[in-house]
Amino acid sequence: DTEVTQTPKHLVMGMTNKKSLKCEQHMGHRAMYWYKQKAKKPPELMFVYSYEKLSINESVPSRFSPECPNSSLLNLHLHALQPEDSALYLCASSQDRGVEKLFFGSGTQLSVL
Amino acid sequence: AQSVTQLDSQVPVFEEAPVELRCNYSSSVSVYLFWYVQYPNQGLQLLLKYLSGSTLVKGINGFEAEFNKSQTSFHLRKPSVHISDTAEYFCAVSGGSGGSNYKLTFGKGTLLTVNP
């Protein structure tokens, strides 16, 4: 199994809603990442988890809250988002905290109304 | 810090023609270089990477790239493209061995459109 699975594939939410994005991998990888990709732009790193601990936060607003409950799962909790947060959210994983071999999921397309 | 410049935002070509997508990088330390492809509404797939060793790197789907340290370039080439190669292509850089290699910095992307 060489897949990173993200759910849901599409999500529409209001600015007062609370929702969560989920990411799962069963490759035994110990580093997991969240990237944000706005339309027609490159992906930008948000968070890095290494061995289930948050190791990098790229100055992301607190309305985005990551969580790594175990080595296979990564969540991104969303609360009080703004319309400009609408984007494709990509999860990725790697064996260790290095990007030499990074596997990406297909993403969650988020629309904030 | 590293940065990447993709010189062409769009490249239209005819099927079976050769193509080159250009990428230049800037870094004061050793780097790792990557090319990713993104099909519509999908995530990123690694095409190839340069970590060290031979400067000519071969990847999937018939693509190859050459690392040129003196020109700080990592151009992607394919001798004959197919309609199915139509996609967005991203060049990316990270810190090399001994550097901060946890973060990929992407270029702005090149949209390759292959026409029949």
pLDDT digits 0-9 by tens, A14-43? 998 999 999 999 999 999 999 999 998 999
Q: What is the distance in angstroms between the Cα of B4 and the nearest Cα belonging to chain A?
A: 11
As a whole number of Å, the end-to-end CA separation of chain A is 36
**Residue B100 above 70 pLDDT?**
no
Of residues B112, B108, B86, the one with CA closest to residue B24: B108
Quote the tokens at residue B6.
């993709």
pLDDT on residue A67: 97
pLDDT on residue B98: 58
Nearest to A99 among B41, B42, B102 (CB): B102
Contacts of A104 (CB under 8 A, 6+ apart): A4, A35, A90, A91, A92, B43, B44, B45
pLDDT band at B101 (very low <50, low <70, confident <90, very high): confident
pLDDT band at B22 (very low <50, low <70, confident <90, very high): very high
As a whole number of Å, the end-to-end CA separation of chain B is 41
**Using the beta-carbon criterion (under 8 Å), do B43 and A90 form an inter-chain contact?**
yes
Nearest to A97 among B49, B51, B102 (CB): B102
Give the 3-state secondary structure of residue A76.
strand
Using a CB-CB distance cutoff of 8 angstroms, which residues of chain A are in contact with residue B46?
Answer: 101-102
Count other C-beta atoms under 10 Å from residue A4's C-beta. 25
Mean pLDDT is highest, among A92-106, B61-75, B97-111, for: B61-75
